[in-house]
């Protein structure tokens, strides 16, 4: 992963405001490779939200003949399970000393990276990538997209480095192409926009959720002429967002279709291809008898041999083939969904819920709400569950069940809507039709969906966010990375997100509701009862009713921030 023309002084990454140059980067890799070799190569868990730290660990492992195990999330139970068969976690557990290992070309058939996705049994599914899978895909990315990103232009990203999309686009491709990348995961839209505005040319690697927020706030317009390429993956990008991004920047986003098993499969630029997808070079596609997409690719690490080092793999996407080699997507054929870029097996979460003493049966849906996909749960309570509902109320029971899922599922994947019913709606074949379950959520808990179940009152859990008919609402899930710039100085050894940063996120959502930056007349009932720390995930909910903006930031029973303020549209300084 080194450009042929690389020089020691070339920048590789930006970390905490400092430039890490090629000589320093390679010295870090050499040193860590030596320490890994001293301990014995084998499999090492790589646990870091920083792109630079992840890249150093991966290249050091390749040099030492080891394998990088990238967990799908940082939940304690996930790390415990995956770490059990490894030599330790990098960078924490590498031995203190070792003789530096100099660069050498790795065996292309050597196993290099283990990635994980949600399995149908509840256990994460392991996907092994060999050196050639990633090397060949990186070379293809440069061949296809290299001309769109100027040489030396920095790459900004809002995606983590431990999933296939972030690993390739945020770290490995920039490393191989000689483009510096930002190590931090930039959570705050205004932070990433402000940093991109400081450079003459750059590229953005993002997701539909983040692009939707960026386009809604209008801040992208300031980057016209600077942001030369935008990449989006980990879920469908809606046409309105794609159009808004293109109008702001003057460049249409590149959408990437792929999976952990196959790597990149196809690309689309709506300004060029419309709704049609085009296979990447070297990728062959066909439509199976069941209508699903079959991919033969040199990047695919699973499936049956297809000759020339390629593998043939059946995906879960239904497609319609077009003349000229393109295709259109018609939706998923299985019950695996992607939420905020993470893959979730709905049957696996259903089984996990049914292991709780309060749940007799569970069925889950992935529902589109406000342009984002979220999980909804319909449950048949057990006798103990009915007693818990009567004693504690719906909100508390939902929070307890979400906590039950916390050991295995990322916070953003857990259900956000709950319905408790006497029995699941089944058809003559004994199946639960999706339409019938959808009807439970359209009805709402007060319209017969719970059919006589005693539920406790809302007991203030929404902290005053009961809106009248004229109210407008936005909800957004946030995760606090360990390297969030706002953490600096707050406080050494015990980092917390300062209240002003949390209010900044509130104002972003207010701007999206108003259509322009708000002018705040003053805050009321402003509270920060629980510290918001690195690794926390939280739901930000804002509601605008007339000039009054109410907001709540929390997760389950924890409240990080709440309050209200009077706002006017039109921007200006906050008095």
Q: Give the fold, CATH level 3, of 472-569.
A: Thiol Ester Dehydrase; Chain A (3.10.129)
The span from the CA of 249 to the CA of 244, in Å, is: 9
Pairing mode of beta strands 89-90, 67-69: unpaired
How confident is the model over 296-348, as pLDDT tens digits? 999 999 999 998 899 999 998 889 999 989 999 987 777 788 887 788 888 88
Q: Are 1 and 105 in contact (CB under 8 A)?
A: no
Q: Are 420 and 450 in contact (CB under 8 A)?
A: yes
Is 3.40.50.980 the CATH number for 149-260?
Answer: yes
pLDDT bin (cut points 50, 70, 90) of residue 140 is: very high
Is 3.40.50.980 the CATH number for 17-130?
Answer: yes
What is the rounded average pLDDT of the residues 3-22? Answer: 87
Please, what CATH class does the domain formed by 273-334 belong to?
A: mainly beta
Q: Are 189 and 163 in contact (CB under 8 A)?
A: no
DSSP per-residue letters across 27-48: HHHHHHHHHHHHH--SEEEE--
Q: Are 569 and 514 in contact (CB under 8 A)?
A: yes
Residue 453 pLDDT greater than 60, yes or no: no
* pTM of the complete model beyond 0.75: no
How confident is the model over 146-198, as pLDDT tens digits? 999 998 999 999 888 888 999 999 999 999 999 999 988 776 777 788 889 99
How confident is the model over 266-298, as pLDDT tens digits? 999 998 888 899 999 999 999 999 899 999 999
Residue span(s) of the chain under CATH 3.30.300.30 come to 336-443
How confident is the model over 373-392, as pLDDT tens digits? 889 999 999 989 999 998 88
Q: What is the CATH number of domain 336-443?
A: 3.30.300.30
% of the chain residues with pLDDT over 90: 41
Residue span(s) of the chain under CATH 3.10.129.10 come to 472-569
The answer to which of 388-402, 412-426, 461-475 has the lowest mean pLDDT is: 461-475
Q: In which order are the strands placed within the sheet that holds 417-420?
A: 359-369, 372-381, 417-420
Residue span(s) of the chain under CATH 3.40.50.980 come to 17-130, 149-260
Q: How many CB atoms lie within 10 A of CB 535?
A: 12
Q: How many CB atoms lie within 10 A of CB 82?
A: 21
Q: Are 389 and 455 in contact (CB under 8 A)?
A: yes
Residue 500 pLDDT greater than 90, yes or no: no
How confident is the model over 210-221, as pLDDT tens digits? 888 788 777 888
Residue span(s) of the chain under CATH 2.30.38.10 come to 273-334
């Amino acid at each position: 992963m080194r450009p042929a023309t690389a020089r020691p002084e070339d920048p590789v990454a930006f970390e905490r405001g400092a430039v890490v140059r090629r000589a320093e980067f390679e010295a870090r890799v050499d040193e860590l490779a030596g320490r890994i070799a001293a301990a014995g190569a084998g499999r090492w868990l790589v646990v870091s939200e920083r792109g630079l730290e992840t890249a150093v660990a991966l290249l050091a492992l390749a040099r030492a003949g080891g394998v990088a195990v990238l967990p799908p999330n940082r939940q304690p139970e996930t790390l415990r399970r995956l770490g059990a068969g490894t030599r330790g976690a990098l960078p924490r557990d590498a031995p203190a000393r070792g003789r530096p290992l100099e660069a050498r070309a790795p065996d292309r058939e050597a196993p290099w990276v283990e990635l994980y996705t949600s399995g149908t049994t509840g256990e994460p599914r392991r996907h092994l990538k060999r050196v050639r899978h990633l090397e060949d895909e990186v070379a293809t990315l440069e061949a296809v997209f290299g001309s769109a990103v100027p040489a030396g232009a920095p790459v900004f990203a809002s995606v983590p480095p431990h999933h296939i999309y972030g690993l390739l686009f945020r770290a490995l491709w920039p490393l191989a192409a000689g483009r510096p990348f930002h190590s931090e995961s930039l959570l705050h839209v205004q932070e990433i926009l402000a940093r991109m505005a400081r450079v003459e040319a750059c590229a953005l690697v993002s997701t539909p959720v983040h692009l939707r927020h960026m386009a809604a706030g209008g801040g992208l317009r300031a980057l016209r002429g600077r942001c030369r390429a935008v990449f989006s993956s980990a879920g469908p990008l809606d046409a309105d967002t794609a159009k808004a991004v293109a109008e702001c920047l003057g460049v249409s986003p590149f959408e990437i279709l792929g999976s952990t098993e196959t790597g990149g499969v196809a690309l689309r630029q709506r300004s060029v291809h419309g709704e049609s997808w085009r296979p990447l070079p070297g990728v062959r596609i066909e439509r199976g008898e069941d209508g699903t997409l079959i991919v033969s690719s040199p990047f695919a690490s699973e499936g049956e041999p297809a000759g020339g080092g390629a593998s043939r793999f059946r995906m879960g996407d239904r497609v319609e083939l077009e003349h000229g080699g393109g295709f259109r997507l018609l939706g998923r054929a299985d019950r695996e969904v992607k939420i905020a870029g993470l893959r979730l097996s709905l049957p696996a979460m259903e089984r996990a819920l049914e292991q709780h003493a309060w749940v007799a049966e569970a069925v889950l849906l992935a529902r589109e709400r406000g342009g984002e996909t979220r999980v909804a749960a319909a449950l048949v309570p057990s006798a103990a569950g009915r007693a818990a509902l009567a004693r504690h109320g719906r909100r508390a029971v939902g929070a307890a069940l979400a906590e039950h899922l916390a050991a295995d599922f990322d916070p953003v994947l857990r259900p956000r809507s709950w319905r408790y019913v006497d029995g699941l709606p089944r058809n003559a074949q004994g199946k639960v039709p999706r339409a019938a379950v959808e009807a439970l959520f359209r009805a709402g808990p007060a319209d017969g969906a719970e059919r006589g179940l005693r539920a406790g009152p809302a007991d203030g859990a929404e902290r005053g966010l009961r809106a009248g008919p004229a109210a407008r609402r936005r909800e957004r899930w946030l995760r606090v990375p360990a390297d969030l710039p706002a953490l600096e100085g707050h406080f050494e050894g015990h980092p917390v997100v300062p209240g002003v940063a949390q209010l900044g996120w509130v104002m972003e959502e207010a701007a999206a509701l108003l259509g322009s930056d708000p002018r705040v007349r003053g805050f009321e009932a402003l509270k920060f009862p629980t510290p918001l720390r690195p690794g926390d995930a939280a739901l930000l909910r804002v509601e605008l009713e007339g000039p009054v903006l109410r907001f709540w930031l929390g997760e389950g029973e924890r409240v990080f921030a709440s309050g209200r303020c009077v706002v006017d549209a039109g921007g200006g300084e906050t008095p």
